[in-house]
Amino acid sequence: MTPIGELHAAMADLTGDGPEKPEKREKSEAGVTGGREAPSMYPVESEEDLLTVRHAVRAATIRAGFGIVDQTRVVTAASELARNAYIHGGGGTLTIEHPAGPDRTGLRLVVRDKGPGIADLETALTDGYTTGAGLGHGLGGARRLMDEFEVDTTEGRGTTVVATRWASR
Amino acid sequence: MTVPASTGVPILRLGDVLVTGLLNELDDKTAVAFADELTERISSDGARGVLIDISRLEIIDSYVARMLMELTTMSRLLGARVIVAGMQPPVAITLVELGLQLTGVETALNAEQGLTALGWHRSPQAPEGVLRDAHR
């Protein structure tokens, strides 16, 4: 492989699968939802990007077979997390992944920023706590809207939120 | 009667009531501009009531929730009563789970009930489609 080719491959690795279990997407038993989709990454650098992200997440929830209430939950959580990354994190990315277990499928949002990080995560997850112009319900609220929720943050090195909602059946 | 607004959101006037609605594509900037514009209209039109139809709104996140709460308070300070009408059930469920109760924001099941609460009643005699208010 040429050096350029290697570079491209490395970049594909970077932009494609995050560190979050890319192997999960092997094959499911003739899933009702069809083949696994590759993850897709969206920039979160502007107000317009927030709208684009909402559209993309809505479309993904529909393809994943989510009902209207779950669609609304996931799109709302995505909106909160993307806005956090944009406002507090100075911009970042949102990646939509399609996790699948043997008997379930879902949608996973990976929201990364390279902002200042969250100094006191416990407090940041408390309702009503805000350092910005919001209501302080963003992070804690988004956690309640999703089934699984992990925050990885280091002061000065940014924040990654991984949030999953499984399709109920 | 429709005044094209800078936000593209029409604000109609029916007597002393302003009627408006939010569309599904509500970004943060538009939300803020809408609040500014509506409070200006309340003041300039001397409105006593405001109906905001949100039946097209597909999500309400904390940003939009805050805008609605602040708009309600600002309008009350100006002497106008705001009713937010037509919230979609999934939006209501999600708002509660987010922990947002839209405290202080008056709501109605739909625009008609909201208008009724603001003092507008459908005439019992007039058949549908006959009502015109072209000269108001």
Each residue's pLDDT tens digit, B47-66? 999 999 999 999 999 889 99
Judge contact between A161 and A111, C-beta under 8 A. Answer: yes
**What mean pLDDT is reported for chain B?**
87
CB contact under 8 Å between B59 and A140, yes or no, is no
Chain position carrying tokens 């007039």? B126
> Which residues of B are less than 8 Å from A48 in CB distance?
27
Nearest CA of chain A to the CA of B116: how many Å? 29
More confident residue, B49 or A11: B49
Each residue's pLDDT tens digit, A155-168? 888 999 999 999 87
Model confidence at A129, in pLDDT bands (50, 70, 90)? low
Q: How high is the pLDDT of residue B76?
A: 96
Does the pLDDT value for residue A136 go beyond 50? yes
Q: How high is the pLDDT of residue B91?
A: 96
Please say whether the dihedral angle defined by the alpha carbons of residues B85, B89, B95 and B101, taken in this order, is positive or negative: positive
In chain A, pLDDT over 70 holds for what percent of residues? 72
CA-nearest of B12, B4, B7, B57 to B32 is: B7
Each residue's pLDDT tens digit, A81-116? 999 999 889 999 999 999 988 888 899 999 999 888
Give the mean pLDDT of A64-75.
96
Chain position carrying tokens 């990646």? A95
> Which residues of B are less than 8 Å from A145 in CB distance?
94, 97-98
In chain B, pLDDT over 90 holds for what percent of residues? 67
Q: How high is the pLDDT of residue A155?
A: 86
Assign 3-class secondary structure to A22-73: HHHCCCCCCCCCCCCCCCEEEEECCHHHHHHHHHHHHHHHHHCCCCHHHHHH
Cα of B127 vs its chain's centroid, Å: 26
Q: Does A54 touch chain B (CB under 8 A)?
A: yes
More confident residue, B30 or A110: A110
Domains in chain A and their CATH numbers? 41-166 (3.30.565.10)
Q: How high is the pLDDT of residue A27?
A: 41
Q: Does B109 touch chain A (CB under 8 A)?
A: no
Q: How high is the pLDDT of residue A114?
A: 87
CA-nearest of A116, A157, A160 to A19 is: A160
Q: How high is the pLDDT of residue A16?
A: 42
Tokens describing residue B47:
């409105």
**Interface with chain B: mutation pick from A47, A62, A70, A76, highest number of B CBs within 10 Å:** A76
> Which residues of B are less than 8 Å from A80 in CB distance?
61-62, 98
Strongest mean pLDDT among B23-32, B93-102, B125-134: B93-102
**What mean pLDDT is reported for chain A?**
80
The CA R_g of chain A, rounded to the nearest whole Å, is 16
More confident residue, A70 or A102: A70
Q: How high is the pLDDT of residue A58?
A: 96
Judge contact between B51 and B17, C-beta under 8 A. Answer: yes
More confident residue, A78 or B25: A78
Does the pLDDT value for residue B15 go beyond 60? yes
- Rounded to whole angstroms, the Cα distance separating A145 from A142 reads 5
Judge contact between A80 and A138, C-beta under 8 A. Answer: yes
Domain ranges of chain B: 11-117
Q: How high is the pLDDT of residue A17?
A: 39
Q: How high is the pLDDT of residue B121?
A: 76
CATH homologous superfamily of B11-117 equals: STAS domain (3.30.750.24)
- Rounded to whole angstroms, the Cα distance separating B87 from B107 reads 8
- Rounded to whole angstroms, the Cα distance separating B71 from B34 reads 9
